[in-house]
Structure formats: structure tokens, C-alpha cells
Structure 1
């Protein structure tokens, strides 16, 4: 399969809520085609209340408009489980420039000190009850949608719909609230975020303006602008490994933006202790296992350390991480 797509496919997933197995399978088949051919897709018919998006964007605009000292009061470096404010320059993908963005990272609120899951714990919240309420409501709703998509991807792979359920007891899925400010004086090649793949199983994204681009099998960048009422979904590293490369974690970036842009990516993953290795259904003598077994939480932590300066300061040199996605293959 060449994966030389020229546009990003759209899949209506309303049928995943149907009681009829045939309806769910029809949606799953469409999800599977998009995941195999592009690794990126839009999903419509998802059923998420748009008011939840509007409320979170309003809270985000209010938060990011504050002076820097007020935002740094919730600096991610003060958290124990990677939550809080991420200023411009904190996050740099290996070999890349400093991204032109700021963010707020939110995880599953969980009791502190769980030795099984270092990326879980109580969130670090700003002194803004409205932000916490809006982010918490959105996190809950998008988590439910992600769980439904886990079932759809399972069916798309010829597995039982509940194949992932045992690995979704307390996943450290992360919501990022990202602000890409418009800077008319930025360098012509200034990027909003550098080329990368996502570390987890898949991502659900709402963006407010154009800027997102994805790489096809020819190494060309394809525009992925917002579609009203739809989320962007892309395959992550761990689903690529789980499927032995049948699904690909497509590389993507955000180019220099022509207006202020807000983005709400939700990085859906499995429990930290989940062992991710090519599923036997996708390993044959002609297609041997292409990926070593990895522990979900260990991979997530290693990739996060490789990207965030504050963690490298705590833990020393960034670890070496495996390469995933189209860009690595090109």
C-alpha cells in the first residue's frame, strides 16, 4: 500500500452507537480503510456536544490572555505528573526548532503516588474555577468518545469490539489546550509545531483555524484544515506497533499560522502497564514482527522526556526512542 493520499478521508461514525452489528461493522470498515491508507481522518457523527468545545475555548482564551507571571504560577515543572502550563520553548522535538506555541496539559485526575503509572496523579490547575470546570467536562466527554473509537478500531482489525477494554481501566490519556499566537514578524519558516508522530494509540483533535499538515507516502505535506462539526483523528505510535505497521502513525506538523489558532488534541492511550507488541493476528512468516515489545507507560514517559526540557533537567540526558510514522520511513 503506497499511502499516497492527496486528501484526508472523512468517516461518519454515528453507526458505532447503533445496536445493529452490521452498522457498527460498516463504520469500522471505513475507519480501517482510512487508518491503513492515510493514518489520518476526519470523524463526523460523533455526538459530542459542541457547547463543551465552546466553553473550553472560551476558558482557554481567557487563560492565555493573562500576563506571563500569572500563567507561570501553574508551570508544568511544578507538577508531579506532567500537568500544567507549558510556555513557548519548553517543548522541542529532537532536531527541531522551538515551536511557536504555548499549552496547558491535563491528564486523568488520579490519586498521587501510584507506582504503576508515573504520568497519573492530581492535575495542577490554574486559579480559575471556570477553566477547571470546562476542561474537566470536556475531558470526560472526549474520553467516552475515545473509548467508542477504540471499539471501532478493534472491529476494523478483525478483533472483538471489546478487545481494548481490559486495557482502559485508568489510562493516562492527555488533553492539551494549545494556543498558537499570530506573529506577523515570525521567520518565514517558523513552525507552530515541528514534524512528529503522536506517542499514544490515537489522537482526537479539534482545531479552530488552518495550519495542520500531514505527510503522505511520497513525503509530501497535505493540508488538513478544520471541517465544521468533525474531529481530526490520527494513528499514534502504539497503535502502529500493536498492528505491526498495518496502521501507520502519520507524521504531521503545524505550519506558520496566519491568525491566532487554538487546538484541543486528546491523546488516547491504554493503561500504563499495557505491554504493546505486534498482535498475533498481524504477524505471519511473510510479515514477521517489526516492532519490539514496549510498555505503554514507559514509551510515553521516554518520549515525553525526549521532548520536555524540565524533565531532562530532572532526569538527565533524554533517552533514545524508536522511530515511527511516514517521515521516518521516507
Structure 2
């Protein structure tokens, strides 16, 4: 395990080396000066898109925190509409929508890392030891540095880091050793780090959007997938899977983003309201997701899912198999 946690102290050095639209539905009325000479706020509808199921902590936090805070504090100038469960498209579509301004806001994962390599840092395998560790990194200087090119390169303004969680493999058979990965057909996101890791572990990787996973599992196009168990539960995939390997092979964050052109049209007060609401919502989601793990595990076990906790030998074998990915990174 020394190698596993020895990676993190070098993260600052490695980031130093590796890391060296029109938005918003505005009212047609013209902006009028207020008594103080400043411009009055225009009204905007903020469509917030994501690919998570309705009951996932991401959407619970959006409804209970972000929407309520924004609408209450903006005096009606900002209205929030939540589009969950890929209603406005899969991750790539919703991210592109925020980039070009057809969608005001979104909560994607790190799909932008193909164009902005520093965004990949957060999903290096076997890097984080627990939620507190991950949260400290993403909400600290490294998280800020990771997002510093998003606005200039992609036209999106970052607001807050939220959590998807520790990824684990679900499958239609038990995975108890590295040999059990051989020949396993696994859906993974179409992101280089994921695909490389899956191949290094011995699986046959099939990239596809998250909206297609249930059907692919049901029809046995793939044997398994990797996601936090909150997603496994909220998306109903337990109906077509039998096992979960608690591999914790990667931590996946999510990011609240807003179209940059829209952001720059907002008043300073509106910007502050949105930013503070996003941070409050994201913090609440981190809390919900971490607390839900045992409840999610119990629920899945009651649905017949068998959980396998890898022993030290198996975990070391997985970390060793991932070694070439770090060789490429460094």
C-alpha cells in the first residue's frame, strides 16, 4: 500500500510538470438604470442539465439547495429548471450545450479532459484514500488550477466541485482476483484514463453513454460497468447485475459549470448568488453521497447483489496492473 499513498505527495510536482454561445433566456426588456446609477438585473431562466437519476444525491442537492437559494435570493430575477437523467442529452451533449449556450448550466464529469489534459488529474487510479482526502484536493489549490483554462478554452465558467464518488465494478459474475477480469466486457466512459485502466486490468472495454447502460446490461451486450454504487442504485442497474467489487479504483468528481457569455451578462449580485448557491449545493451533495454509502450497500444487498471486498493481495495486484498508466502520465 506504500506505493498507493505515496503517489499523492508527488501530485503537486506532477501537476506543476503536466499542467506547465450565448447563454441565458433573457427578458426582452432593456436594462434600466437604478437610483444608484448601476444597471438593474435582467431576468434569466437557468436550465441545469445532468445525467444522474432523479433521486441521486446530485439532484437532491440541486432541488433542496441550489434551486431554493438562487430563486429566493435573486428576488425572482433568476429561475432554475432542473433537467436530470440525460433529458437534455448524455454527458457530451449537455457539456457542448453549456459551451454553446443552448443550455445555461450543467454538472458534467471530466469529459473535457481530452481537450484540457490537466482535468484528467482528478481521475488517476487508486489516488484517493477517502472522501475527505478527495474533497480537500478538489476544493483546494489543485482543483482551482485544474479548472483555470475552462473559460478561455471552452467558454464555460466553473462554479463548484461536487462528487460522483468512488467507482466500483458491478458485473454479472463475481470478481475475486485479477484473473476474473479477463474477458469481462465492461462499459466505461469514453475517456482515455478509463479505457486504459480497463484494458490494463484485463477487461474488454466498451465505451458508451450512461443513458445506454441499462439496456446494454439487460441485453448482455456488456457484462458489467464501473460507477459509484449510488449510481448503481439510482439507475436501477441492480436489476440486471449480480455482483459488486468494492475496488474503489478511481474517484470521480463532477463540476458545476455555467456558460461564460451568460456569466458575464449577469450582475455582480447575481453572480455571487449563483456561486454561493453552487458551493452550498455541492457541499451538501458531498455530504449526502458519503453518508449514503452504507444505506446504498444495504439496499443493493437486499436486492440480491453480492459485495466482494478485495483483500490486500488483490488490491496490490490491481494497483500494479495500473502502473503503466502512471508511466505514461509521468
Shorter-chain TM-score bucket reads under 0.3
Rg: which structure is higher?
Answer: 2
Normalised TM-score (structure 2)? 0.28
Quick one: higher RCO (CA 8 Å, sep 6+), 1 or 2?
2
Structure having the higher helix fraction is: 2
